[in-house]
């Protein structure tokens, strides 16, 4: 399947998400969880700041800097906004914290119809958090952080004005080269916003913390359909508003993460979950990005979702993310059963291979790029997030391989210059 070439002035990743091949043949790439834990400069910044994960997400300058770090270092085709799927819960006044080594923990799990009724009285940006900070201030912090990132990465308008996209502050030549690699011929790099899908949010709310089987959430789904509907509708509206917030601040694409959807039977997913994910995508699709002056492409990603990829597409996704348990060819065959047909895909390098010898990893990147050519559009990514122990220089080399850039591979092999 050969897609028509697009003008080189548009970022390769936006062309791929639209189902078109970039004129220069470049395969765009970004990494889930690229902003954060795998980078020494991130760990150094967090240590200096001395703040919790959720507080870091609500510090505009800090969140913007962390978002930009992997773009400067790796030359990836887009920045993914540094935040967490728990942030909108916090900004709606829900008691939640992220415990190191555990993950999100709720102050009060939502287990009954009365619990759901109390929860759904909360609204994004209303009230204040346990620290006394107004949630409206937190919403403004998200907007400001996205705008700061867009200011450094540029826009179609800024790209046409020489010098207007120069990043603020003193950056090393290596960091400037990373920004240039990311921008490519388009002269600017998009920002990807994101949010957690309703089922994943509901699973955390009901379980109260991470779970292997989500038994309590699945139990509520079947035991009290009315409470489940109310809970899922609230989660959909909340995360839809959170994604739309990022888009209106300047994000040029967005991804809906449904981390736990793979734990469901396909029939339960279609009936009890997909309609609410569709609502998120509907809300997000109404937002217009000032960066592009248009509505943005929406990616739908989950793990263990091979059996429901077509359903995820039919929920309204422009692009479906493929995890590392599913071959791209298998995913395309599954998506052929979608009511809207096969669309662009994203994925799906195995994160475990990041520790393999380069001969193995490099060949795997080549195969993934080649397999992706069967799709109308393909964005290379991992099949899950970057492991925290990953060597950052390996990620940079993967980007160079995907881009087919010998110059950028030499920069990867030379290593990072230590700017923090």
Percent of the chain with pLDDT over 70: 95
Q: How far apart are CA 224 and CA 72, in angstroms?
A: 49
User: Are the C-beta atoms of residues 67 and 191 closer than 8 Å to each other?
Assistant: yes
- 7, pLDDT greater than 70: no
- 166, pLDDT greater than 50: no
239-289 confidence digits (pLDDT tens): 999 999 999 999 999 999 998 899 999 999 999 999 999 999 999 999 999
The domain locations on the chain are: 27-158+171-413
The sign of the torsion formed by the CA atoms of 310, 311, 315, 317 equals negative
**Residue 136 phi, psi dihedral angles, 5° rounding:** -65, -40
Mean pLDDT of the chain: 93
pLDDT the model gives residue 356: 97
Q: Which tokens in the block code for residue 313?
A: 């597409």
Question: What is residue 22's three-state secondary structure?
Answer: strand
The residues facing 80 across adjacent strands are 192
305-327 confidence digits (pLDDT tens): 999 999 999 999 999 999 999 99
pLDDT the model gives residue 315: 97
Binding residues, as ranges, are 33-37, 84, 204, 259, 384
| Cβ contacts of 205 within 8 Å, gap of 6 or more | 89, 94, 106, 109, 110, 119, 231, 235
Considering only the top CATH level, what class is 27-158+171-413?
alpha beta
Helix (H) or strand (E) holding 372: helix 358-372
The residues facing 302 across adjacent strands are 258
HSE, side-chain direction, 13 A CA sphere, residue 24? 16
331-390 confidence digits (pLDDT tens): 999 999 999 999 999 999 999 999 999 999 999 999 999 999 999 999 999 999 999 999
User: Are the C-beta atoms of residues 76 and 182 closer than 8 Å to each other?
Assistant: yes
Pairing of strands 378-379, 253-258: unpaired
Q: Which tokens in the block code for residue 171?
A: 């950056």
Mean pLDDT of 380-407: 96
29-69 confidence digits (pLDDT tens): 999 999 988 999 999 999 999 999 999 999 999 999 999 99
- 213, pLDDT greater than 50: yes
Q: Which tokens in the block code for residue 180?
A: 């240039």
pLDDT the model gives residue 142: 98
Q: Which tokens in the block code for residue 334?
A: 């599954």
Q: Which tokens in the block code for residue 263?
A: 């734990």
The residues facing 379 across adjacent strands are 346
163 — pLDDT class (breaks 50, 70, 90): very low
185-204 burial string, b = 16+ CB within 10 Å, else e? Answer: ebbbbbbbbbbbbbbbbbbb
Both ends of the chain: CA-CA distance in Å?
44
User: Among 75-84, 192-201, 410-419, which is the least confidently predicted range?
Assistant: 410-419
User: Are the C-beta atoms of residues 360 and 393 closer than 8 Å to each other?
Assistant: no
Binding residues for substrate, as ranges, are 33-37, 84, 204, 259, 384
């Amino acid at each position: 399947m050969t897609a028509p070439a697009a003008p080189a002035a548009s970022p390769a990743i936006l062309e791929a998400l639209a189902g078109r091949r970039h004129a220069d043949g470049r395969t765009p790439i970004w990494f889930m969880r690229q902003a954060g834990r795998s980078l020494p400069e991130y760990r150094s910044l967090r240590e200096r700041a001395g703040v919790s994960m959720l507080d870091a997400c609500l510090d505009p300058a800090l969140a913007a800097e962390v978002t930009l770090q992997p773009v400067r270092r790796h030359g990836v085709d887009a920045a993914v906004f540094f935040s967490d799927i728990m942030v909108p819960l916090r900004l709606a006044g829900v008691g939640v914290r992220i415990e190191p080594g555990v993950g999100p923990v709720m102050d009060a799990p939502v287990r009954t119809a009365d619990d759901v009724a109390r929860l759904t009285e909360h609204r994004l940006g209303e009230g204040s958090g346990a620290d006394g900070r107004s949630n409206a201030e937190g919403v403004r912090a998200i907007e400001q952080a996205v705008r700061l990132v867009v200011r450094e990465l540029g826009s179609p308008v800024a790209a046409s004005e020489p010098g207007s996209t120069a990043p603020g502050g003193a950056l090393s030549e290596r960091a400037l080269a990373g920004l240039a690699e990311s921008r490519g011929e388009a002269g600017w790099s998009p920002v990807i916003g994101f949010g957690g899908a309703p089922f994943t949010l509901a699973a955390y709310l009901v379980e109260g913390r991470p779970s292997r089987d989500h038994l309590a959430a699945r139990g509520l789904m079947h035991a009290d359909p009315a409470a489940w509907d109310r809970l899922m509708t609230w989660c959909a509206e909340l995360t839809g508003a959170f994604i739309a917030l990022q888009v209106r601040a300047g994000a040029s694409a967005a991804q809906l993460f449904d981390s736990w959807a793979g734990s469901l039977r396909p029939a339960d997913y279609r009936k009890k979950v997909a309609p609410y994910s569709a609502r998120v995508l509907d809300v997000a699709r109404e937002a217009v990005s000032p960066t592009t002056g248009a509505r943005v492409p929406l990616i739908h990603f989950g793990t263990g979702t091979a059996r429901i990829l077509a359903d995820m597409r039919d929920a309204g996704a422009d692009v479906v993310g493929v995890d590392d348990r599913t071959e791209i060819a298998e995913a395309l065959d599954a998506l052929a059963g979608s009511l809207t047909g096969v669309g662009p895909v994203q994925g799906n390098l195995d994160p475990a291979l990041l520790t393999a010898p380069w001969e193995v990893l490099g060949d795997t990147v080549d195969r993934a790029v080649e397999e992706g050519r069967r799709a109308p559009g393909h964005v290379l990514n991992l099949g899950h997030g970057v492991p925290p122990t990953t060597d950052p220089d390996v990620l940079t080399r993967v980007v160079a391989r995907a881009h087919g850039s010998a110059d950028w591979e030499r920069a990867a092999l030379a290593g990072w210059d230590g700017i923090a």
